[in-house]
A and B are shown apart, each in its own frame.
Chain A
């Protein structure tokens, strides 16, 4: 089993699809992960399952890999993990990142309507896409991801696969933005929309992963003094960014829905 505990999860799920189904029962969402390079042992540790549930999970995983092996079944009922009731409690600096996610999600949720209604040939449609890209680059990337990469991840081991996965997501997102800008310059609506949709899919999953798994895990490892340090470092990082740019991005996310509605009305005229 040691061999599989130290194996990337994608490799295990590909070889033993039942493992993916078991992980999903325990609300461990590795199956749709784009990278899947995290090691099984890290995944189990990071989800902070109660001891009895972790024992049950490991028993079932081991049994599906080695069905003929005689493995001692842990005592207790093999219950799947229930969705935790109530909100996840974050420390103040981590809560700040979660609140930033809320604004990013506001834009992500509007992207299907953009794909359906917006014509990049029109001035108003093109401007909406350009402003959306400005929001992604200035707020989601420079303001938010930079705080994670330059400050937060310094409190973790950057060689951990979970951190590598998150950083790879950031790079993939940057690639989508670059491709969208290039396609927009050529008036290639199909490519713009393909990358915008891919960006939405990627970031939606990425934010869920961070809010539900990564951030609570980092929070559990921080001492009170480190929480204070992190809070102050975020303040310092934010001071370096033009306040007007952040405000412009907030306004964009708040008003984007109205702009799409306006475009929708013009299309149906």
Chain B
């Protein structure tokens, strides 16, 4: 990994991983997508959609799926998804209401919030916590934080 400069926001600091991705086994065959719905962006999705009802929901920061190599197989499989960027998206108060609606109206089974290690991503977990506190119905919420190169750094239940 080459750091292209130390200053500025860790979320937008330039880093070069080209050397790290060299080598390794050549993969053959085609991997099946585990996406079972459309749309996926949090502004566009409706908690009333059938695939959210009583489901295990994955709320992923936009960058996560690009970082984690086995995102579909290890994290998306069996779950309904919504994606958002807590740094750049507008209208985030709507996000909190929508996550709350997942809990109260769609009666989801669990919510897994997957974010990057950069500080600005913490906002997505905070939104989920805010929604959980204001929701009438409580559900287990898990927070998974991944590194810029896709390693899981922590996996904790939000209590």
Chain A positions within 8 Å of B, measured between CB atoms, are 89-93, 95, 224-225, 227-229, 231-232, 235
Contacts and interface: CB of A to CB of B under 8 A. Distances in A.
A228 B159 contact: no
Contact count band on B:
10 to 19
B109 A89 contact: no
B109 A232 contact: yes
B157 A90 contact: yes
Given A224-B112, A225-B56, A228-B110, A91 B78 contact: no
Which of B109, B140, B142, B156 is most buried by chain A, counting CB atoms within 10 A of its CB? B140
B139 interface: yes
Interface string B11-22: 000000000000
24 contacts: A89-B157, A90-B157, A91-B140, A91-B157, A92-B138, A92-B140, A92-B141, A93-B140, A95-B159, A224-B56, A224-B112, A224-B140, A225-B78, A225-B110, A227-B140, A227-B157, A228-B109, A228-B110, A228-B140, A229-B109, A231-B138, A231-B139, A231-B140, A232-B109
Highest count of chain B CB atoms <10 Å: which of A92, A93, A228, A231? A228
B106 to A, nearest CB: 13
Nearest 4 Cβ contacts at the A-B interface: A228-B109, A228-B110, A92-B140, A225-B56
Contacts of B56: 224-225, 228
Interface string B103-126: 000001110100000000000000
Given A224-B142, A228-B139, A92 B109 contact: no
B110 A227 contact: yes
Interface in B65-110: 78, 108-110
Interface string B138-156: 1111100000000000001
A149 to B, nearest CB: 22
Contacts of B108: 228
Interface in B31-70: 56
B23 to A, nearest CB: 27
A235 B139 CA distance: 10
Q: Which of B109, B141, B142 has the most CB of A within 10 A?
A: B109
Interface in B125-142: 138-142
Interface centre among A224, A225, A227, by most chain B C-beta atoms within 10 angstroms, is A224
A181 to B, nearest CB: 37
Nearest to A225: B56
Contacts of A229: 109
Contacts of A227: 110, 140, 142, 157
A92 B159 contact: yes
A87 to B, nearest CB: 11
